[in-house]
Amino acid sequence: MENKVVLLYDIMSLVNVRRFWVAGVVLAAVVALLPFSFHSESHLETATRVEGSQAETVAQELSTRFRSPFVDRVVLVIQGLPAADSPEGEEPLETIVTQLREEPGVSGVVSYLELHDPIFLGKGGGTYILVGLSSTQGPVESLVPRLHELAHALENQLRGRYPSVKLELTGEIPLNFDIRKASANDVRRAETLAIPATLALLLLAFGSLVAAIIPLAIGQLAIATTLAIAGFLARRWHLSVLIQNLATMLGLGLGIDYALLMVSRFRETISAGLDGPAASVTAARQAGHTLLISSSTVAIGFLALLTVPISEIRSIGVAGFLVAAISVLLTNTLVPAALALLGRRIDAGRMPFTPRLDGHRAERTGNRWRQWGKAIVAHPWLALFLAGVPLLLLAWQATRLNTSVPKGDWLPESAESVHALHSLEQMDRVGVVYSMRVIVELPADSIAQTDAGWNVLDRLSKRLASDPRCARVISITTLADGDRASLTDLSQETQRTFLSSDGRAALLEVLPATSVSLRDQVDWVRELRKTGAATLTGVPGATLQIGGIPALNADYQTIVTDRFVRVTAMVVVATLLALLAGFRSLFAALKAIALNLLSVAASFGALVLVFQDGRGSSLLGVPEGTGSVFPLVPIVAFAIVFGLSMDYEVFLVARVLEARRSGLSEMDAIPEGLARTAGLITSAAAIMIVVFAAFTFGNFLVVKMIGFTLAVAVLIDATLVRIVIGPALLRIAGDWNWWPGGLATSRRVPMMTNHE
């Protein structure tokens, strides 16, 4: 193991000798990628894909086996025209339908004109048109802007005769499109809030404009490079628009965090009297090892997310891994080269309200934390009790965490698709958006060609329609009024929509009542799946598959619940191995894992109290408790928090271990480690909290929840956990902290006499 450490130091020395050449190559690659970061959004998807799920299977069946023109569809909500079933309303409706059919990318159109079904007649005289979409160039959501333009053009065309006419698009695809816009707006808003606040904190930490700009620049470069690479990957794999949010959030956090450590080490060494090149080599050697351990623990959490077969969660894993890898690469190459060139000019642009960089200032700052450390090691059990009990009480709240679909209206309020969705609710027709798409297949009888098969489908349609949660069931039998002889009277478009080409499988559109919540819809899907096709149809060997938004939500929740324990175990075990390799100490590694789990649990407890219970949620723009949190929040937050929390543990333990190896006792090494890292941890945590908190002020509720959880976790971890509980446990364990080989080293790094 010692040979590996020596080899690591030798590699770092080689990199520093050739730092300008290496930095030049890295900088050239980053500059080449920057232009592509501006176009990455166009390649990212808003639709959620759950690989291998029943909902995805239904969509594939409708596309390939049914060749349905309505696999992907939008709903055009129409208000302000005469009733669709009146002679006066027929003409304008015909105008709209005709122009929709002529629009490129429209694969099918169905309205009251085609079916004369009362399901198209809403309360208050409104109506709607179902528009099927098929895109050969890019995702179907790319057709939404042109449909918006067409709807507005039709509004202007009809407004002369019908002044109050309103045409609005909604449905899963327009809602996803508007979520993309809300996501992009949230990123811009968060950057507007976070960057000035972060710069102010860096100025307070360093007192120098030059020193403050370096970490901020690394964060921005990490974000841009991550988005550029993600854009290329999205051309081959399904990546979610959430990458924008997470890349910005983590890029500002991790990029600045890592560069902050490197700059702090450099300022510490240069204040001790070294020149710029020598100080940069020393800083890169000392901080580089710490950053490699830290970034590896962060990357582990994100790699674990790649095992979850959900496009959103995998996308977050991709974004996090790229940000961590790029941040540590830039910090270990560009930053040392820049610092070597700057030398003592790192203090250029000194702010008038801050003292100049010198060893005395660093010593005074370190002494305050050293005194704090001495108080902790003098009374470790008291410190453990005072800090541990409140955290355990908060962590206990996490046992009430509910990961079902949140209640309430959490979609972006200003979006047109959301307005149209509310209009459908007022018309009592919102079920057309949230319909369950049920495919039933019989083992022998053809539904289209035999009375037995036809009657089975008819009975199933009536059984589902009798459920009080159901507003309407639409199937080939209901459209033919139960008469198989009337099947030929239906259009080919209708037959392709509801009947497979071989006649053995049929689609039933089950529209839930407006009063049925999303959570109740999910429960209904699970109930039907549990009951099974044989019981529902009375035919042994029959199969039944359910798709649509409710089924997708059910599949999503099931997979996240099933994979959470596996992801947790992977992250914990892999992180433990990384820490054992880095510190060669079993207790230090186990303690870090335990404290991280405590930080995660406490942050989940805060999430429950604020969002799920609604205590103080109005301050974050959420008027009341959501009753639950989105299923992806716990698994994503765990992977991120576990890695981020490990940063501060690595910073602290690495310095305490360095002090022990220099010959200090445990009683002296712990205060010394705090003196050297507490200020850095406080500054880094403050920046992280500002960045994450900035995302709680957007309109995207899932990002609000993630940002809040991360901000609380960092706050808890950088204060009570690392500054109180961690040092207290180090004192209680004594020399066992470093068993079996933590104190053994063949190359002792001398302690600096001045501290940052």
- Of the ranges 194-198, 311-315, 383-387, 674-678, which one carries the lowest mean pLDDT score? 674-678
Is the pLDDT reported for residue 605 higher than 90? yes
The pLDDT of 534-555, averaged and rounded, is 89
397 or 489, which is more confident: 397
25 or 5, which is more confident: 25
| Residue 28: Cβ within 10 Å count | 10
> How large is the angle between the packed helices 276-305 and 632-661, nearest 10 degrees?
150
> At residue 664, what are phi and psi to the nearest 5 degrees?
-75, 155
The structure tokens listed for 685 are 């945590």
Model pLDDT, residue 3: 52
DSSP-assigned letter for residue 739: T
Query: From edge to edge, which strands make up the β-sheet containing 470-474?
Result: 470-474, 505-512, 436-441, 543-547
Is the pLDDT reported for residue 722 higher than 70? yes
458 or 755, which is more confident: 458
Confidence of residue 12 (pLDDT cuts 50, 70, 90): very low
- Could you tell me which of 209, 286, 225 has the C-alpha nearest to residue 36? 225
Is the pLDDT reported for residue 437 higher than 90? yes
- Could you tell me which of 541, 532, 473, 482 has the C-alpha nearest to residue 507? 473
The pLDDT of 399-426, averaged and rounded, is 82
At 519-539, the pLDDT tens digits run 889 999 999 999 988 898 888
Model pLDDT, residue 750: 44
Is the pLDDT reported for residue 546 higher than 90? yes
Model pLDDT, residue 392: 92
How far apart are the C-alpha atoms of 415 and 412, rounded to whole Å? Answer: 6
Report the percent of the chain where pLDDT is more than 90: 13
At 191-221, the pLDDT tens digits run 788 788 888 877 777 777 887 888 888 888 8
- Could you tell me which of 716, 692, 693, 694 has the C-alpha nearest to residue 605? 716
Report the percent of the chain where pLDDT is more than 70: 90
Model pLDDT, residue 511: 93
Residue 437 pairs in a beta bridge with: 509, 547
Mean pLDDT is highest, among 112-116, 739-743, 750-754, for 112-116
Indicate the SS3 state at residue 467: coil
Model pLDDT, residue 756: 37
Mean pLDDT score across all residues of the chain: 81
Model pLDDT, residue 43: 73
How far apart are the C-alpha atoms of 509 and 502, rounded to whole Å? Answer: 19
Is the pLDDT reported for residue 754 higher than 50? no
Model pLDDT, residue 131: 92
Model pLDDT, residue 353: 56
Model pLDDT, residue 74: 92
Residue 240 pairs in a beta bridge with: 45
Confidence of residue 510 (pLDDT cuts 50, 70, 90): very high
Burial pattern 293-314, b for ≥16 Cβ within 10 A else e, equals bbbbbbbbbbbbbbebbbbbbb
The pLDDT of 505-509, averaged and rounded, is 90
The pLDDT of 50-64, averaged and rounded, is 88
Is the pLDDT reported for residue 570 higher than 80? yes
The structure tokens listed for 49 are 């894909």
Q: Around 95, how many Cα atoms within 13 Å sit in the side-chain half-sphere?
A: 16
Model pLDDT, residue 354: 54
Contacts of 29 (CB under 8 A, 6+ apart): none
Confidence of residue 470 (pLDDT cuts 50, 70, 90): very high
62 or 658, which is more confident: 62
The pLDDT of 633-641, averaged and rounded, is 84
List, in order of start, the domains of the chain with CATH numbers: 1-37+207-354 (1.20.1640.10), 71-175 (3.30.70.1430), 358-410+561-742 (1.20.1640.10), 435-547 (3.30.70)
Model pLDDT, residue 75: 93
Amino acid present at 25: V
The pLDDT of 273-286, averaged and rounded, is 74
Segments in 440-585 forming alpha helices (H): 451-465, 476-479, 492-498, 518-531, 533-537, 549-583
Mean pLDDT is highest, among 47-56, 198-207, 297-306, 708-717, for 708-717
Model pLDDT, residue 8: 44
DSSP-assigned letter for residue 749: P
- Of the ranges 210-224, 528-542, 553-567, 670-684, which one carries the lowest mean pLDDT score? 670-684
The structure tokens listed for 444 are 């022998």
Model pLDDT, residue 749: 43
Q: Around 299, how many Cα atoms within 13 Å sit in the side-chain half-sphere?
A: 16
The pLDDT of 537-547, averaged and rounded, is 89
Which class for 571: exposed (0-12), middle (13-18), buried (19 or more C-beta within 10 A)? buried
Angle at the Cα of 64 (from 61 to 68), degrees rounded to 5? 85
Is the pLDDT reported for residue 321 higher than 60? yes
At 95-122, the pLDDT tens digits run 999 999 999 989 989 998 888 888 898 8
Model pLDDT, residue 563: 86
How far apart are the C-alpha atoms of 233 and 239, rounded to whole Å? Answer: 8
742 or 336, which is more confident: 336
The pLDDT of 531-549, averaged and rounded, is 89
> At residue 409, what are phi and psi to the nearest 5 degrees?
-100, 100
